[in-house]
Amino acid sequence: MLIRDTSEGYGLISRLFHWLMAVVIVAMFILGVWMVGLDYYSPYYNSAPDIHRSVGMILLFALILRWLWRIGNPKPTDEDLSPLERTASFAVHWGFYVLLFALLVSGYLISTADGDPISVFGWFDVPSVLQARGLETPAGKIHRILAYATIALAVVHSLAALKHHFFDKSTVLTRMWSGPNQSSEKDRHE
């Protein structure tokens, strides 16, 4: 099994990053929307944000590792896309990195604005590096906007993947799921 990416497709590490982060990010969005509406007397009033913060910090580390992995590996080809689609795909993919980074940092700033660290499941603390009076409120507003923007981009990305798969008979979706070799051959002969 391929660990690294090739020009043909994505290796195991990239595919794990992609699908695990996709699932976790969507789950975090749902958790976030749900938890901010919790009643003060809900048993999850404290634990839900704790989980959200912990997972958020892990996502931030994962994003940085994923970006390092991305720039350290060859980029699989997208030559079967039109020039316009290629530009759009570039914008969406790098848009995800920028949006997610800003989203995760803004979330981090909400919790650390007074100098408190974020405890990641009680395993370790992420210290506060930036404190400012009242920072938590603008950080929270930005966090919310970026969360919706990320999900909007995810919808665009998913619809584009489905469009390439079903209408263009492209291998972009299958190669992200099962790797480069087997699917590319199969799909070309369909």
Partner 1 sequence: MKFKRAAFAAPLAATLMSVPAVAADYKIDTENAHAAISFRIKHLGFSWLTGRFDKFTGTFSYDEKNPDASKVKVDIDTASVDTNLALRDKHLRAADLLDTDNFPKATFESTSIKTTAPGKAVVTGNLTLHGVTKQISFNAEHVGGGKDPWGGYRDGFTGTTELTLADFGIKRDLGPAAKTVELTLDLEGVRQ
* Chain residues in the site for partner 1 (CB under 8 A): 39-41, 49, 110-114, 116, 133-137, 140
Task: Report the nearest approach of partner 1 to the CB of residue 113 (Å).
Answer: 4
100 with 63: CB under 8 angstroms? yes
Which residue lies nearer to partner 1 by CB, 41 or 167? 41
Task: Report the nearest approach of partner 1 to the CB of residue 67 (Å).
Answer: 28
Which residue lies nearer to partner 1 by CB, 143 or 175? 143
Which residue lies nearer to partner 1 by CB, 43 or 134? 134
- What single string gives the DSSP state of each residue in 5-52? --SS---HHHHHHHHHHHHHHHHHHHHHHHHTT--TT-TTTTHHHHHH
Task: Report the nearest approach of partner 1 to the CB of residue 134 (Å).
Answer: 6
Axis crossing angle, helix 83-112 with helix 136-166, rounded to the nearest 10: 150
Task: Report the nearest approach of partner 1 to the CB of residue 168 (Å).
Answer: 45
Which residue lies nearer to partner 1 by CB, 24 or 135? 135
- What single string gives the DSSP state of each residue in 76-121? PP-TTS-HHHHHHHHHHHHHHHHHHHHHHHHHHHHHHTTS--EEET
